[in-house]
Structure 1
Amino acid sequence: MRNLINPFIKITVLAFYLVGCTAMAVAPPAETSDSKKKKAEETPEMVAEAKAKVFSRSDVSVANGEKRFNQTCVYCHGHQGSGGKARKLQGRDLDPDYLFKTITRGKKRGSLIMPPWKRSFNAEQRWELVTYILTLSEMK
């Protein structure tokens, strides 16, 4: 009887571990009191400045955006934006400002929910994601 219980416990523990890892990979990081203060101060001028900075060094920005995309977006949007739970990003003609607003505010479409990333990423990091997603529009 003991041999039957032991594998069951191992499988149960593994299942809880995997579910926990998946939840952490998708959910934005928890908000701290310091990040609340920083995010509350974001002005349109700061967003425009971050946009100009990111687009002026596009190679670095695309690389940073790709890394961030692979850490936070790939679960729903697929490898290189190939699609999955969320819409495909490859081969689409997307407006940079629309992408930035969607990443910032999130989106709800039916039962699918994209979380808002404003609390997790600063304006420069969100613009870097935009530069990477724009490179995906060239793919088919």
Structure 2
Amino acid sequence: MFSAWSSTVSHRPMLNVFETSSTTTAQPKSRGWSPTMANLRLAARASTVVVGLSLSSTAMALPWDIDMVDAYFYRGYEWNMMTVPEGAVSINRWAPNSDRMTPEGQALRNPYPVNTTAVATGEQMFNTYCTACHGVEGQGGAPVADNTSGKRYPILPPMLSGDGAVTALRSDGYLYLTIRNGAAVMSGYGQAMDDDEMWAIVSYIRTLDGAAYSGGL
């Protein structure tokens, strides 16, 4: 049965649309088709090749991509910045910084008036940012230094007042730069307070018992 079926199958070669003759124009092979049908198939194959080659480098998004070309949109760099609200910190307002261990840093002096208002502000800032580690009035015993759980903080905060207060041996500039930039495991608070508020803390610390400056760094 198979031999009988295979004897009836026509084994015609595939059509080569690019086949040409040195003396004649390319002619389609008939493959048993009529000349008209053969020409139509040849034209269809040729157009498919041309379209395929042209689409290889063209985005297939028409007609929607034309909307992106014609659409009017805004670019961020083409616009001016919004007006800064009143009271905002200017990007040009940045107090010069120093290292607390340098002579320049230790020689800094409080540029703001030291009065009862400044001390009151300093106390408020101290209670907000400092008591968690240094305790009330800088005498220790703060939650961070509490060792009742046996998991005490690896570095105990120094005493800021009372007997053995380190503040008595540190200049105003040293204290200010410590508050501003941080030290050891203490983070800086320059991003949290204004310059006058950090100096106000220094003024408040100086009013604590044993915290008056007696010379040193």
TM-score (norm 2): 0.39
Within 5 Å, give how 1:99-114 maps onto structure 2.
99-108=175-184, 113-114=185-186
- How many residues in Structure 1 have an aligned counterpart in Structure 2? 94
Partner of 1:90: 161
Query: Corresponding residue for 2:95?
Result: 42
Q: Report if the CA contact (8 A) 1:54-1:128 is conserved.
A: no
Q: Report sequence identity in percent.
A: 29
Structure (1 or 2) with the greater helix fraction = 1
Pick from 47, 52, 60 the counterpart of residue 111 of structure 2: 52
Runs of 4+ in 1 over 6 A off after TM superposition: none
Query: 1 or 2 for the larger relative contact order (CA 8 Å, sep ≥6)?
Result: 1
Determine the C-alpha separation between the residues in 2 that align with 1:43 and 1:133.
23
Aligned residue in 1 for 2:187: 115
Confirm whether residue 64 of structure 1 aligns to residue 117 of structure 2.
no
Q: 1:104 to 1:36 in 2, by over 3 A?
A: farther
Aligned to 2:215: none
Work out the CA distance in 2 between the residues paired with 1:115 and 1:36.
23
Structure 2 residues not aligned, in runs of 5+? 1-87, 98-108, 146-156, 212-217
Letter in 2 for 1:130: V
CA contact (8 A) 2:112 2:199 kept: no
Superposition TM-score, scaled by structure 1 size: 0.58
Q: Give 1:88 shift.
A: 1.1
Q: Give ranges in structure 1 of 5+ residues lacking alignment.
A: 1-33, 45-49
Q: Once the 2 structures are TM-superposed, how far is the Cα of residue 131 of structure 1 from its aligned partner?
A: 0.5
1 CA distance for matches of 2:137 and 2:196?
A: 21
Tell me the distance in 2 between the aligned counterparts of 1:68 and 1:52. 18
Deviations 1:89-110 (A, max 9, x none): 11331311110010011011xx
Q: Which amino acid aligns with 1:133?
A: I
1:63-121, CA deviations, whole angstroms, 9 ceiling, x for partnerless residues?
Answer: 1100111111101000111114311111331311110010011011xxxx211011111
Given residue 119 of structure 2, which amino acid in structure 1 is its aligned partner?
V
Q: Are 1:134 and 2:206 matched, yes or no?
A: yes
